[in-house]
Amino acid sequence: MTDLTYREAMRGAIRTAMQEDERVFLMGEDVGHYGGCYAVTKGLLEEFGPQRIRDTPLSESAFTGAGIGAAMNGVRPIVEIMTCNFSLLALDQIMNNAATMRHMSGGQVTVPIVIRMATGGGRQLAAQHSHSLEGWYAHIPGLRVLAPATVEDAGGMLGPALADPDPVLIFENALLYNETGPAGDPGSVDIDHAAIRREGSDISLITYGGSLGKTLAAAGQLAGDGIDAEVLDLRVLRPLDDDAILATLAKTRRCVIVDEGWRSGSLSAEIMARIVEQGFWTLDAPLARVCSEEVPIPYAAHLEEAALPSAEKIVTAARTVLGR
């Protein structure tokens, strides 16, 4: 397994998909001549040409709708939306068309589209470029929602996503693009189940995406205090892997959920509800969560840092649950 950056692994996955299936093409803002806002698609235009690497107008609704129509007609589009905040301009297309078409046609029409978008804060890009809206999309039936947190997942999730007959949304936390790690084989990653990233016995820390690194750092700090934390990376936000959540809970009997979304109506709230519904009697302590503060993400670095989850906040929450 070769070490690559998250960005390189994603680019390699796109390249492999396009080499193996001539139906696959990529479209989005600045994906061609500029090489992508985060340089993920750099060099692909020269390799595959403008018919398969398509720069689009600045209209998320228009090019997402075009991608949906293309998918309905037998090709395999990858649509890149620059940031998840801008995906709201295409929400009508994603929710009312892509997510519903298979159901409304009685299974006669599928929409095998993959929509990639950057997510998350921590880059001083202010409130219109920094939110984590994965939980909003995880609310919608008819979609599969993925959040690769490792280089291996970044490179390995795209192939299975393109093979899915339903629309798949891939949320790439922008702080991960420079992270390095083993890339694995394209198409080799399970897009149905969560993954244990650290074994432990005292408390479960459940997270996904850009918060995984902070959560593992918190687990390391807790280990210094003699607290053995298990870290579960959800990876798949819709459908949630209830079995994995309940299995880690049954093992440790205590839980903190780390979610970069806002607390109110968040994905963490859904996970807590499922734990209470299905695993209440395994709990030895109240559940806790660490979320972003309920404010538009600030531009100022110190305020942005204060608004987002951190290893220190996770450690504090874990110690509180454990009565430490």
Do 60 and 158 belong together in one domain?
yes
> Does the structure show a pLDDT above 80 at 1?
no
Residue 129 annotated in active site = yes
Residue 103 annotated in active site = no
Do 124 and 212 belong together in one domain?
no
> Does the structure show a pLDDT above 90 at 184?
no
Do 178 and 219 belong together in one domain?
no
The active-site residue out of 8, 129, 131, 134 is 129
> Does the structure show a pLDDT above 90 at 7?
yes
Q: What is the mean pLDDT of residues 135-164?
A: 96
Length of the chain: 324
The active-site residue out of 8, 60, 179, 230 is 60
> Does the structure show a pLDDT above 80 at 106?
yes
Return mean pLDDT, the chain: 95
Question: Per the domain annotation, does 9 fall within a domain?
Answer: yes
131 pairs with which residues across the strands? none
Q: What is the mean pLDDT of residues 293-306?
A: 94
Specify the number of domains making up the chain. 2
Question: Per the domain annotation, does 187 fall within a domain?
Answer: no
Does residue 176 contact residue 210 with C-beta atoms inside 8 Å? yes
Q: What is the mean pLDDT of residues 235-262?
A: 97
Structure tokens at 263: 């607390």
pLDDT of residue 2: 79
Question: Per the domain annotation, does 189 fall within a domain?
Answer: no
78 pairs with which residues across the strands? 26, 114
Question: What's this model's pTM, rounded to 2 decimal places?
Answer: 0.96
Do 11 and 134 belong together in one domain?
yes
Do 16 and 156 belong together in one domain?
yes
CATH code for the domain of 73: 3.40.50.970
Do 113 and 217 belong together in one domain?
no
CATH code for the domain of 232: 3.40.50.920
Which residue shows structure tokens 């939980």?
135
Structure tokens at 80: 């890149």
Do 44 and 122 belong together in one domain?
yes
Do 247 and 127 belong together in one domain?
no
150 SS3 class:
coil
